[in-house]
Amino acid sequence: MVRLPGRPATRPPRPSGDPRASQAPRTEGSSQNGSRPGVLRSAVTGRSVAGQVFVLQVVIVLLLIVSAVVAQVLQVRHDSDLEAQNRSLAVAESFANAPGTAAALRTPNPTTVLQPRAEEVRKATGVDFVVVMNTDGIRYTHPKPDRIGKKFVGTIGPALAGGTVIEHVNGTIGPLVQVVVPVKDSAGQVVGLVSAGITTAHVGGAADQTLPLLLGAAAAALTLATAGTALVSRRLLRQTHGLGPYEMTRMYEHHDAVLHAVREGVLIVSGDGLLLLANDEAHRLLDLPEDAEQQSVLELGLDDETAALLASGRVATDEVHLVKDRLLAINQRPTDLRGGPAGSVTTLRDSTELRALSGRAEVARERLNMLYDAGVGIGTSLDVTRTAEELAGLAVPRFADFATVDLFDAVLQGEEPKPGTALCRAACAGVRQDSPLYPVGERIRFVPTSPQARSLTTGQSVLVPQLRDAPGWRAQDLERTDQVLAYGIHSLITVPLRAGSLVLGVANFWRAEKPQPFDAEELALADELVARAAVSIDNARRYTREHSMAVTLQRSLLPRTLPQQGALEIAYRYLPAQSGVGGDWFDVLPLSGARVALVVGDVVGHGLHAAATMGRLRTAVHNFSALDLPPDELLGLLDELVGRIDQDETAADGSAAITGATCLYAVYDPVARRCTLARAGHPPPALVHPDGRVEFPEVPAGPPLGLGGLPFETAELELAEDSRLVLYTDGLVEDRERDIDTGLEVLRDALSGTPGASPEETCRAVVGRLPARPNDDVALIVARTRVLGADRVAEWQVPSEPAAVSQVRSTVTGQLADWGLEELAFTTELILSELVTNAIRYGRGPIVVRLLRDRTLICEVSDRSTTSPHLRYAASTDEGGRGLFLVAQLAERWGTRYIPNGKIIWAEQPLP
């Protein structure tokens, strides 16, 4: 078995439930990282490897210090003896050879001469004594005079022979070194002896003074060494977790066992590419030889890519390599990232089976993601075709290479599907655009043997693994199916789009790029995907139906054609909102006296409720306008109507469903060229003068309809001929991105750029500034004014007397002759006779008769009375009461219009 070189640096963690976890050596107060004082205590005890290392290093340091002190002491002693010897010898020889020493010895009293000199030399040289003696050893000098004349204590024999005597003795002053040298005369004869000596204590004093310093330095060195050893031991203790030698050995054995038992290959490669270690799993996975260690990884028979990776030492994370028949996931990290030796550690994991499992897991995850995306990505709009396109777009290319959606025609129209009818291809998506499948918009009738027909009939999905072997599918269209097969499409899944009991159509998924056919798992996924899409398509179908109903209702409530009248040249536009049905409306209402009423309104909100309310208000305006009411009074009646609508439509919980509406009502008189306007919360009209100048007239802004309690005011404008009056709803000048002031300026610019343009051209210019599908409904009316000239108007004042009737007849006959309307003379005479007679009999003067030649001949009789005649059947015994009946029979229309100072009774006759 290959052993991991070196000792392990860390201890493998133990699970919390392992009873041995509590047996790890710990000292009281210690922590795992050894940062507390207890670490040192644990180290000193010596139970752990760190403790033993600490004790051993401290002992070694102590031995080194003791050895150094002993050596220093011995050296000091040796140096002291040598210095004492050298100094004594130098002093003795110097004194013996000094001039006069030999001569003084021959004098009768040598002491007198030599004693002072000897003391002087002794004091000058620091020796303890300088003794001069004769050849018999009798002292002539001595530091203590009482010893002069006594015999010298020491060896003098060698000195008498001419030599030098050096000896260590214990004198009365302590251990000393004394030297005896001869004193020779000029003939070389020994005439005396000189001895000098010094105690070693006096010589070694300086050396003894260095000993405390040496000991202090030793103590400091011991302290530093102990501290350094403690730090090293603490680090070692932290790294070994307080393990003892036995536990370290056991841990090493465990590591070694785990290294070779783990089902993951481990390689250690040196910096120069040599394989240092390979565990058993690495040998098996890479099929390494038994002697692979200490060989270059490039020479182990591995493939070039794997060998290059191992030799490079670069960082690798889950790199997959094909080694023989195995897929190996390789992780590699360098060992020198934190100052370690150069090289790398590589782990190998056999991912052949794992890759297959992960592949299946990835497929499952992708399918879940696709279903999630289907939930949030299909049905983003309430449009059937758009929803079908979202289904096809989601499936390609994540699930299929091509996807088509076929829906019944009735579904596209918002109706319930009718089985047995043709289907329409509503959506098609693919990885390429040149597929031979039926294109979008194609009407298809599937033959009974086709998978689509079977799916529609049974309501079940159909899987066709191989289209080439499916004669039922090929029977649909032999030429096209051959093109499909030649194109490479080979597999099909057909799923019915079911919403409850309704089958809305089929979704088809085609495979071409991937060689494997669809399988049962993919069939289940297709079922789930289409089931979610079918709900969205059915919701869009229902919305389409309701929207179509609302649009139909709205269109039916709006004017389809404009009534004929001669006072205004009119063009209009109605643009529905981008989504939903709004409550905007407009109307052109011919009034009596050649006048025309223009109305534009807007009901708050969208949907059927707004459209229905708009229809009710439009009908009410028609009825109120027939009464020839002034604009402010008409808006007052509309306000009351809206208030009643709110009361009638109180919600079930008791809260009123406030309708709310705005309206602008204008009446133009082509004879007087005057326009009377009133508005209820509506934007003001725009007026384009004949010279192209644009203004927004000041029309009092009344409250919106339905609030009640406040009157409405009117404004009166005098319009020149060929002026253009522009009425519109707020959708033209206001939306989410701009306020009404900005919108009015845009409208002003659009109108200013069309001087002299016709109403139709003006509409195109204004609508051209709008988006194709505005956020709100837009109603626009452009009316260019015409004037009924004086040559087409005749007016007379009639006296309040019966004789004036005949005069009126003759005058009217003459006027009709001037206009070329002689054919209407008889009926006109009868009508005016009755109307003037009634005015004379029942009204108050002055009485005025006016004839207007417009599209019709209009007869008007006005007086100051406010009583209105009523049509009724006269009894057989009544002498009168048949005049109005006659007028009603002769005239196309007739009626009464009230004015501020009376009334006008009018009658219209068609021109011949």
Over the stretch 664-690, which tens digit does the pLDDT of each residue have? 999 999 999 999 999 999 999 999 999
Check pLDDT > 70 for residue 651. Answer: no
Three-class DSSP labels, 529-543? HHHHHHHHHHHHHHH
- Percent of the chain exceeding pLDDT 90 equals 30
Over the stretch 548-585, which tens digit does the pLDDT of each residue have? 777 777 777 778 788 888 899 999 998 877 666 678 88
Write down the pLDDT at residue 120. Answer: 87
Q: Is 700 exposed, middle or buried, given 0-12, 13-18 or 19+ CB atoms closer than 10 A?
A: middle
Q: How far apart are CA 784 and CA 767, in angstroms?
A: 17
Over the stretch 358-384, which tens digit does the pLDDT of each residue have? 666 677 777 788 888 888 888 888 889
Check pLDDT > 50 for residue 23. Answer: no
CB 683 within 8 A of CB 701: no
Residue 553 tokens read as 């209702």
**SS3 call for 424:** strand
447 or 81, which is more confident: 447
Contacts of 155 (CB under 8 A, 6+ apart): 165, 167, 180
Residue with tokens 């010094």: 198
Q: Is the pTM of this model over 0.85?
A: no
Average pLDDT over residues 702-707: 88
Under the phi-then-psi rule, with left for phi > 0, alpha for psi from -120 to 50, and beta for the rest, what region is 249?
Answer: alpha
Indicate the DSSP class of residue 139: B
Write down the number of H helices and E strands in the chain.
Answer: 24, 31
Select from 646, 648, 656 the least CA-distant residue to 705.
646
Indicate the DSSP class of residue 502: E
Q: Is 801 exposed, middle or buried, given 0-12, 13-18 or 19+ CB atoms closer than 10 A?
A: exposed
526 or 777, which is more confident: 526
Check pLDDT > 60 for residue 755. Answer: yes
CB 413 within 8 A of CB 548: yes
Write down the pLDDT at residue 384. Answer: 92
727 or 283, which is more confident: 727
Q: How far apart are CA 178 and CA 198, in angstroms?
A: 7
Over the stretch 155-191, which tens digit does the pLDDT of each residue have? 888 888 888 888 888 777 778 888 899 988 888 888 8
- Percent of the chain exceeding pLDDT 70 equals 87
Write down the pLDDT at residue 772. Answer: 64
Angle, helix 825-842 to helix 883-890, in steps of 10 degrees: 150
Check pLDDT > 80 for residue 750. Answer: yes
Residue 17 tokens read as 């439930």
Contacts of 848 (CB under 8 A, 6+ apart): 795, 796, 797, 798, 860, 861, 862, 863
Residue 157 tokens read as 């024999």
Write down the pLDDT at residue 29. Answer: 36
Write down the pLDDT at residue 687. Answer: 95
CB 195 within 8 A of CB 45: no
Element housing 410 (H / E): helix 409-412
pLDDT tier, 783 (very low <50, low <70, confident <90, very high otherwise): very high
Write down the pLDDT at residue 656. Answer: 45
818 or 24, which is more confident: 818
- The strand pairing partners of 903, in sequence order, are 863, 898
Indicate the DSSP class of residue 48: S
Over the stretch 315-325, which tens digit does the pLDDT of each residue have? 888 888 888 77
pLDDT tier, 650 (very low <50, low <70, confident <90, very high otherwise): low
Average pLDDT over residues 498-518: 93
Check pLDDT > 60 for residue 26. Answer: no
Residue 407 tokens read as 């829906």
Which of 595-599, 864-868, 870-874 shows the lowest per-residue confidence on average (mean pLDDT)? 870-874
